């Protein structure tokens, strides 16, 4: 199983994102690197939800491009995306599942029950979230 390493400051930022944009969903990207089956996150970068919706999200294309460039410049890559569920648990909605199949990367969902990771592997599978200091 894949695991993802998030630092305390990443967790704080993600928890903050959950409340900051409520009732709408917040979203962003995770920048870092992959080592074997581990994903090491260095930067959690909020991106505007261009849908402004409480049911779904869409990463603003311009900000996504800037994030991609920044990752490239720092010798890293976009290793995943995150979004929030301000009113529900951190499990993928039907819309999320469809999007996960189309955009296969690490998906972090921040919900009322905490932070959970998922990836598409012929279906939605879990990714272990490891909190590091």
Q: Which is nearer to Zn ion, 37 or 93 (by Cβ)?
A: 93
Asked whether the beta carbons of 40 and 3 are under 8 A apart, the reply is no
Would you count residue 17 as binding Zn ion (CB under 5 A)? Answer: no
Our answer to whether residue 73 is catalytic in this structure is: no
Asked whether 86 and 23 are in contact (CB, 8 A), the reply is yes
Binding mask 76-95 for Zn ion (x = CB under 5 A): -----------------x--
Residue nearest to Zn ion (CB): 96
Interface residue with Zn ion, options 30, 96, 117, 127 (CB under 5 A): 96
Catalytic member of 17, 25, 42, 73: 25
Buried b / exposed e across 16-50, counting CB within 10 Å, b at 16+? ebbeebeebbbbbbbbbeeeeeebbbebbbbbbbe
Q: Nearest distance from residue 108's CB to Zn ion, in Å?
A: 11
Minimum separation from the CB atom of position 93 to Zn ion (A): 5
Q: Look at residue 14 and give its three-state secondary structure.
A: helix
3-state secondary structure of 39: strand
Q: Judged by CB, which is closer to Zn ion: 7, or 51? A: 51
Q: How far is the CB of 22 from Zn ion (least distance, A)?
A: 14
Q: Is 5 exposed, middle or buried (0-12, 13-18, 19+ CB in 10 A)?
A: middle
List of residues contacting Zn ion (CB under 5 A): 93, 96
* Catalytic residue annotation: 25
């Amino acid at each position: 199983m894949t695991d993802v390493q998030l630092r305390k400051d990443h967790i704080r930022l993600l928890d903050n994102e959950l409340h900051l944009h409520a009732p709408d969903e917040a979203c962003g990207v995770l920048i870092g690197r992959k080592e074997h089956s581990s994903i090491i996150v260095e930067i959690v970068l909020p991106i505007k939800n261009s849908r402004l919706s409480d049911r779904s999200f869409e990463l603003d294309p311009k900000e996504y491009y800037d994030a991609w460039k920044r990752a490239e410049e720092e010798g890293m890559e976009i290793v995943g995306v995150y979004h929030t569920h301000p009113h529900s648990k951190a499990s993928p909605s039907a819309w999320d599942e469809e999007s996960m199949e189309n955009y296969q990367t690490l998906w972090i969902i921040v919900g009322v029950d905490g932070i959970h990771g998922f990836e598409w592997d012929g279906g939605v599978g879990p990714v272990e979230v490891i909190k590091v200091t």
